[in-house]
Chain A
């Protein structure tokens, strides 16, 4: 039997903590400034400045968010269990009438709420200003952009929680954070391109699809670059991303899967972990 009140007790404590140590404020500010700067300087290569519309903003913003949000989420969550284990607060709470599942879920929900709040506030405030300056064209796409950015954050938070139960020391968790970020955000696409080049493109499209689904950062890119028709053509994505697998519902389902499986794997490890 799972107790929702115990889960929320832990979640509220985690969320309050991110508010109190100004994590939420700092991340909101970073995201808002980033969105505004990109919108304002979006036309700089053409020698102009001034707020651009949502469509232009999303394209440049999405590629930066792919780098930034994963590392923000990983650093938020990587020490939530291993930190308490090293700090010796974990033993105590586990002797209390709360199950490991309740503790784990509570932590995930509390930290999720921190990510959701700062993403909505940061990109929301920036969105309002952009809408006031350049009109609300493509506002719908921007809202979906925020949603996908949240899912990107949550999927890497899930990975962070998994890291947090995999290792016994904080220092090793930091190592894994760097590895995961490097792998999913930087290396993965290089390997993918390498594969395409070395096989001279003769690789089946279902393998490419599967590989793209194997990386939440790629799903995020696809969601935001492929959703806007003009961009799709410009990036040459149109040919690669044909088919059902690249429709929004499937891509969102893919991201959701990336939120859930590391969480499930993390809990399975946590359940067996001796503290």
Chain B
């Protein structure tokens, strides 16, 4: 098992009596791509800022690379982390190259890294132009480039793909993969699960200031007991059908306008199907809906419990 590089324990944060984060614990392993996901206002950004040492937790501890950062961030830790804030802003009057040169001297990075990073992020051609004229996508690339100065061990990316078009998102994750191959641990937040679920190693779902679930996408599906749903188009009376489905272990979700939705808990899917097929007179169409994590997440996002 890989060593833990970030450890969050019972962390809370109050803002003038309002609990933004209500006791969160999790850890992130070295070299993994960890996604923090949650709807806006779930406490994601507060948690992220605490991870970065910008905001101090009200209670609990956070350790990064083995040192406690709940109180003060040491220069040592800061020197080995990179951060890409949400909607990154730059000094608009500086060129891309000047921006990186300035940040390189603050981070104590070697200037020779700059050309390399401009190349990696694909903005070498615009390095001499003022950042004020950069497109959203180019800003994000420059932002990624600055976060990679001085070869960080951990990268924190806050909503890194907000405002990028699908092509830009693809390109962004391609760069991230290259970075990950260098052994960098990456922590990113998002409110779009679909976008990150196939790209992260593990993720934590945050809602209402709490960590609702964490693990790999596969683990989450299993843990949450997501069940496939059968959608039947039926005619006439369905009482018989419903009885058969219930008997076979299914669960009636709804019946409306001739459409019957039946939840099939894991393992019972085939049994329910077989039972229903015997009543095929009443069924005119059948569809199997595979649940996505998105559905679960949307449940959280709308404040519901699963």
Contacts and interface: CB of A to CB of B under 8 A. Distances in A.
Interface of A: 5-6, 9-10, 13, 17, 20-21, 87-89, 91-99, 274-275
A94 B54 contact: yes
Interface in B86-131: 87-91, 93, 102-103, 105-108
A89 B78 contact: no
A84 B75 CA distance: 22
Contacts of B102: 9, 13
Interface of B: 49, 52-55, 75, 78-79, 81, 83, 85, 87-91, 93, 102-103, 105-108, 146, 156
A95 B53 contact: yes
Contacts of A97: 75, 78-79, 106-108
A92 B102 CA distance: 13
A216 B83 CA distance: 42
Contact of A21 (B90, B93, B105): B93
A274 B15 CA distance: 11
Nearest to A93: B106
A95 B83 contact: yes
Nearest to B81: A95
Nearest to B87: A88
Contacts of B79: 97
Contacts of B87: 88
Contacts of B83: 91-92, 95
Nearest to A86: B89
A21 B81 CA distance: 33
Nearest to B102: A13
A20 B106 contact: no
Contacts of B54: 91, 94-95, 274-275
B88 A96 contact: no
19 contacts: A6-B106, A9-B102, A9-B105, A9-B106, A13-B102, A17-B93, A20-B93, A21-B93, A88-B85, A91-B49, A92-B146, A94-B54, A95-B81, A96-B78, A97-B78, A97-B79, A97-B108, A274-B55, A275-B54
Contacts of B75: 97, 99
A5 B93 CA distance: 23
Contacts of A21: 93
Nearest to A20: B93
Given A95-B54, A95-B83, 20 more contacts: A5-B105, A13-B91, A17-B91, A17-B93, A20-B93, A88-B85, A88-B88, A89-B91, A91-B54, A91-B85, A94-B54, A95-B78, A95-B81, A97-B75, A97-B78, A97-B106, A97-B107, A97-B108, A99-B75, A274-B54
Contacts of B108: 97
B55 A89 contact: no
B297 to A, nearest CB: 27
A96 B93 contact: no
Q: Considering the complex of A and B, which 6 residue pairs feature the smallest CB-CB distances, nearest first?
A: A88-B89, A97-B78, A95-B83, A97-B75, A97-B79, A9-B105
